[in-house]
Structure 1
Amino acid sequence: MKNIKFYCVTNKPVNFLNNPCYNLAWVGKNDSPPGYIKCNNGENIFYKEQYYSELTFHYWYWKNLLGSENSDDWIGFCQRRRYLVKENANQKIDINNINKNLLIEFKKEWHEFESLICNPIQILGAKKIKILKRGWKNILKDPSILFNEKKQNISFHFDMHHGYGNLDKAIMLLENEDRDDFEDYVKTNIKFNPHIMFVSKKEIIDKWFNSLFPWLERCEKKFGFENLKGYDMQRIYAYLAERYLSFWFKKYTHFKEQPWAFIEN
């Protein structure tokens, strides 16, 4: 087994973590608590935090810290309320027992894997009244969506919650080698691996960020910032990254899906 070096991104103090494998990374507007890694220095996008969420730190890490990491180390990213946990963590996890359930080691029997990503979430189950209210533009084009759950896919779900047609516009800005594959992925899947949390090694992490951030910069020219109103739209760049991560790690790495927990705090 080999320990994983985790970076936990937060905008509020985290007082319940006590594992040395976990490094706290600050994206809050207030001054950071002592010992937290700051991402408002060096090459950074801290001024975009309200739009990029935890990606604010991910970008800083890529530009300022990744180069100094050991190539053989396993590196992971989590966030204040969501953590990758051990496979035998079958109890309700909260701040009182999270430390004993945290994933901290990359097991020897996982040697064939190149990455860990979150267990997927399924996006089916919206009530028909909500589908009609938020997905009416899609239904006008294809009324069968209302009754065919296979068509209530990632693309439809994104249209409902983050602006009709926005995912399609973003896909057109991807590099050629991923454009058609990602479009097919979001139109044929009804679940995805959420939360922009993963574990991998330096080389793959660099490739991931080299694919992600230039794409998001192109998306900025399409969507901007000024008209991104409300939580569902303001953080569209983080939501795009979340769907893209689910696709990218499956296409480019030998991945393993891992349990995760949501912590009320």
Structure 2
Amino acid sequence: MNIKVLVATHKDYKMPEDEIYLPVFVGNAVHPDNNPGFQGDDDGENMSLKNKNYNELTAIYWAWKNLNADAVGLVHYRRYLIDKSKNGNSFSQILSASDFENLLTNYDVILPKKRNYYIESNYSHYIHAHHEEPLTLTKSIIMSDYPEYLEAYEKVMSSTSAHMFNMFVMKRAYFNQYSEWLFDILEKVEDKLDISKYDTYEARVYGFISELLLDVWLEVNQPKSIEVPFKFMEKQNWLIKGMGFMKRKFLR
């Protein structure tokens, strides 16, 4: 099976040695001089110029339109799907080509373990961290253009956990179906949403929305899926993250 797992990055960084991984420099059309030699997301049909609003989705779009593979996935330069039973350092635990092949023999989609929020729903967490209007628009577009997804959307928004970071590996047919659905919705949100007063962080809005839309699509289409652990390659300061969460929740 020809599997390609994109590694979205915007900087030079250590990459896995396994050839199944394809480092993709996102926003290459904007900052080509910063690319250390990785595949750019601006070859062929692309949306590289929108990277500041779509985040790693510009790599997914590039793969959808240009990459020939039996299965396609995405991870991040500092965040990977792993096998905790493997010994060694963090990079030694990253899933290999044979790991992915074995999993895709029995499953259609590989996902990271869900992130749990415990004390609030996905909707509550989103609007405490970001502007609410993008989700309102997203729901209205689903209601008008994809009504068969509305019940799943409501279920995901009320849930307290989600598959985050836009990380996955999908067999090609599912990847194509998901990409067509996702980008159609996001482009319609983009047409209606005024982000001219959003700061740099909030301007990444379409990447943020997509993190929740993945579970909506999974809920409706029900591909045979498996969750695996994921790992940050750098130390996380959970105290600072926790304080940021509380500030967003109670002071926003």
Normalising by structure 2, we get a TM-score of: 0.81
- Is 1:6–1:78's contact at 8 Å kept on the other side of the alignment? yes
More RCO (CA 8 Å, sep 6+): 1
Is the contact between residue 118 and residue 258 of structure 1 (CA under 8 Å) also seen in structure 2? yes
| Amino acid across the alignment from 2:141 | L
C-alpha change, 1:161 and 1:185, in structure 2 (3 Å) is same
* 1:57 CA displacement: 1.3
Deviation at 1:98, TM superposition (A): 3.0
Structure-2 residue corresponding to 1:44: 46
Alignment of 1:1-265 (within 5 A): 4-28=3-27, 29-31=31-33, 32-34=35-37, 36-65=38-67, 68-69=68-69, 73-89=70-86, 97-104=89-96, 105-106=99-100, 108=102, 111-124=105-118, 149=119, 152-174=120-142, 175-187=146-158, 189-231=159-201, 233-252=202-221, 253-264=223-234
Q: What CA distance in whole angstroms lies between the structure 2 residues aligned with 1:16 and 1:111?
A: 26
Letter in 1 for 2:36: P
What is the RMSD computed on CA atoms of the aligned residues?
2.2
Deviation at 1:87, TM superposition (A): 4.2
The Cα shift of 1:79 comes to 1.0
TM score, norm. by length of structure 1: 0.77
Gaps of 5+ in 1: 125-148
Moved more, 161-170 or 74-83: 161-170
Show structure 2 runs of 5+ residues with no match. 236-252
User: Which is greater in Rg?
Assistant: 1
